[in-house]
Amino acid sequence: MLRALEIFAEHPVQLSFALASLLALLGLGLVVLRLLPRSARATAEAAELRASEVRLRASEARFRQLADATFEGLVIHRDGIVIDANTAMAAIVGWPQEMLIGRNLFDLCAPSSHDQLRAQLAKLARGEAPVAGDPPIEINLRHADGSAIPVEIHARTMPFENGDARVVAVRDIRERKAAEERILHMAHHDALTSLPNRNLFRDRLGQAMARAKRGGNTVAVLCLDLDRFKPVNDLLGPEIADELLRQVALRLTESIRADDTVARLGADEFALIQVGLSHPDGPAVMADRLVKAIAEPFCICGHHIVIGTSIGIALYPSDGISGDELVRAADNALDRAKASGGGTFRFFESEMDLRLQERRHLERDLRQALMTEQLELHYQPLLDCDQLTVLGCEALLRWRHPERGPISPADFIPLAEESGLIMQLGAWVLRTACSEAAGWPDDKIVAVNLSPIQFRQPDLAEQILAILAETGLAPNRLELEITEGVLIEDTERTLAALTILKNAGIHISLDDFGTGFSSLSYLQRFPLRQDQDRPLLHLGDGAESGFHVDRARGHRARPLAADHGHGGRRGDADPARLAAERGLRPGPRLSAGQAHATGRHCQALGNATAAGPD
């Protein structure tokens, strides 16, 4: 060190440069030392920044993948201009994803929903941002092909690129809407024919009457019922019958105007609402067209089917001011058309309403009659025409009204069948007849008629057997008379019930063979009496002037056709002449008051009227 100082002392200038140089080097070293850590940090920070950018891009990519993987469309917009959208959104509207960017929302929205969109954007402009829990909004978007797409949207506000933006979740609800429409269609349309059902018919009728009331116009309601449809169903089967109904519906639809409505109300019942009537003959012209359309033959699965239709017409407001009144009036007119033989139409008349009220009163009185012993049984003797002996008696129901006097079965039996009272009425007749016949001689039978309506009871056979057990009448002393209509309605259930009754020993006879659609081969399925082709004679009322000859199945006479519910064809021979040839004369009916002596009266009648065999 001393030597160095000596050198520097000997050379002061060089010392100054050297010192200066050394100081400069030291200063540079310090600068370098200071710069070295700062550069390392910068490098590290830069590396971290680059890594962050990579992670951000990866996160953004994952976010976009997630957004694209969702089933809902996502749109980000600011002031109604699309900033971003996912692939699901592009698929919903049918545009490429890149073509959505920069588009105005109104370009993507169907015109029918522009007002809704405008209202939502106005709320956002006022600062009324949507919040969690807000219900979704349903709008229609416009597809690239121009069709409307029902969607459900949720919107939220979010920060995006130095400002707020709106993110909208879009759910395609086309499938849901289609399902709702199918359910709505099923609720308002007939499943077989796709025609409006009764519910939609009533709704449209109400609308039509409301419009007619405002405009002072007329509305016509036409109620249609198919003629001869039931035999098609019974003989050809339900598949053919269903196809027939579909073809009928098609013909009706093709026969009406676009503004009219045709509906299916029941099995073979249809109805038409005719609006905008400019001519009073309009309903008649329409009804005539429908009658002719249905009268044309139908060809179904090789079957040539000919049916017809009966139509009742009622007009608003003259025939009714409510839908129910109008339909009821048209139904009344329909009954009149069917009573005229079918294949025609009738207008409602005020007298029909009076008859309807009369029927209601009669139904009320009949219910009362069941509870107040106004009903009674009369008995007609049954003769074996070969042996000229009394077999027993047939029970005939009679009603003596306390105010109106005797009421014909032709008036109250159909009413009982329509109202459902026939179930109670039939049970009363059977129980009373069996109870009274139990006191007759053991070889005398009692015959009781059963309505086809009674066979709709699933336990009819059990009810009859219970009544026999209750009254003590032997099963082989009861004969049940049925009409041919029983055999073609719900065949399997009817066959099962008749088989149970036959196996119990009860006789079953057919009352009106030849008046319907059955054949002898068809009848072989049923357990009917096997006696055939024997001359049958029935002693009727003197007032009914004579006897009824029938060669139908069974070995005894049938009631006269004047008694409601009993058919049968008249024989070729004159009844009075046949009776005279056999030395027979009419005998009296026996009332319920003589029930205790019925057997004796029947026997006495047989002795008195049989002058002897031929």
Look up the CATH number of the domain holding residue 232.
3.30.70.270
Model pTM greater than 0.75? no
- With a cut of 80, say whether residue 322 has pLDDT above it: yes
- With a cut of 70, say whether residue 115 has pLDDT above it: yes
Going by C-alpha positions, the residue among 324, 143, 326 that lies closest to residue 220 is 326
Predicted pLDDT at 71: 63
Q: Is residue 51 part of a domain?
A: no
Q: At what angle do helices 350-371 and 409-419 cross, to 10 degrees?
A: 90
More confident residue, 499 or 466: 466
pLDDT in tens, 544-592: 333 333 333 334 443 333 333 333 333 344 444 444 444 444 444 444 3
CA dist 613 and 123 (Å) reads 109
- With a cut of 70, say whether residue 300 has pLDDT above it: yes
The answer on 202 and 125 residing in a single domain is no
The answer on 201 and 146 residing in a single domain is no
Average pLDDT over residues 450-471: 90
User: Model confidence at 310, in pLDDT bands (50, 70, 90)?
Assistant: very high
Q: Is residue 477 part of a domain?
A: yes
Of 127, 144, 177, the residue at which a domain comes to its end is 177
Mean pLDDT, all residues of the chain? 76
- With a cut of 90, say whether residue 432 has pLDDT above it: yes
Predicted pLDDT at 452: 83
Predicted pLDDT at 537: 38
| Token pair belonging to 76 | 């980000």
Predicted pLDDT at 55: 58
Predicted pLDDT at 134: 74
The answer on 242 and 150 residing in a single domain is no
The answer on 465 and 605 residing in a single domain is yes
- Among 230-244, 513-527, 583-597, the range scoring the smallest mean pLDDT is 583-597
Of 333, 348, 363, the residue at which a domain comes to its end is 348
Q: Is residue 552 part of a domain?
A: yes
- With a cut of 60, say whether residue 318 has pLDDT above it: yes
Of 123, 154, 177, the residue at which a domain comes to its end is 177
- Among 355-369, 430-444, 552-566, 578-592, the range scoring the smallest mean pLDDT is 552-566
CA dist 490 and 456 (Å) reads 8
Q: Is residue 575 part of a domain?
A: yes
- With a cut of 60, say whether residue 456 has pLDDT above it: yes
Predicted pLDDT at 16: 34
Transcribe 539-570 into DSSP letters: E--GGGTSEEEE-SSSSSPPPPTTSTT---PP
The answer on 575 and 477 residing in a single domain is yes
- Among 120-129, 274-283, 323-332, the range scoring the smallest mean pLDDT is 120-129
Predicted pLDDT at 199: 94
The SS3 call for residue 110 is coil
Q: Is residue 353 part of a domain?
A: no
The SS3 call for residue 242 is helix
Length of the chain: 614
User: Model confidence at 308, in pLDDT bands (50, 70, 90)?
Assistant: very high
| Token pair belonging to 482 | 């049925």
The answer on 126 and 213 residing in a single domain is no
Question: Which CATH number fits the domain that encloses residue 127?
Answer: 3.30.450.20
The answer on 576 and 544 residing in a single domain is yes
Domain that holds residue 328: 189-348
- Among 25-34, 69-78, 547-556, 597-606, the range scoring the smallest mean pLDDT is 547-556
The answer on 554 and 469 residing in a single domain is yes
Transcribe 427-448 into DSSP letters: HHHHHHHHHHHTTS-TT-EEEE
Going by C-alpha positions, the residue among 264, 286, 288, 289 that lies closest to residue 275 is 286
Predicted pLDDT at 132: 65
pLDDT in tens, 121-161: 788 777 776 666 678 889 999 999 999 999 998 888 778 77
- With a cut of 90, say whether residue 271 has pLDDT above it: yes
The answer on 500 and 399 residing in a single domain is yes
- Among 51-65, 230-244, 491-505, the range scoring the smallest mean pLDDT is 51-65
Q: Is residue 53 part of a domain?
A: no
The answer on 227 and 310 residing in a single domain is yes
CA dist 457 and 494 (Å) reads 10
Question: Which CATH number fits the domain that encloses residue 466?
Answer: 3.20.20.450
Whole-angstrom CA distances from 144 to 89, 94, 96, 147 are 12, 5, 10, 7
> What is the phi-psi region of residue 210: left when phi exceeds 0, alpha when psi lies from -120 to 50, beta otherwise?
alpha
Whole-angstrom CA distances from 116 to 141, 210, 260 are 11, 31, 34
Average pLDDT over residues 223-232: 92
CA dist 334 and 323 (Å) reads 16
Average pLDDT over residues 491-519: 74
Q: Is residue 46 part of a domain?
A: no
Number of structural domains in the chain: 3
Q: Is residue 116 part of a domain?
A: yes
Average pLDDT over residues 206-228: 94
The answer on 415 and 271 residing in a single domain is no
The answer on 567 and 597 residing in a single domain is yes
- Among 106-110, 157-161, 495-499, the range scoring the smallest mean pLDDT is 157-161
CA dist 379 and 598 (Å) reads 8
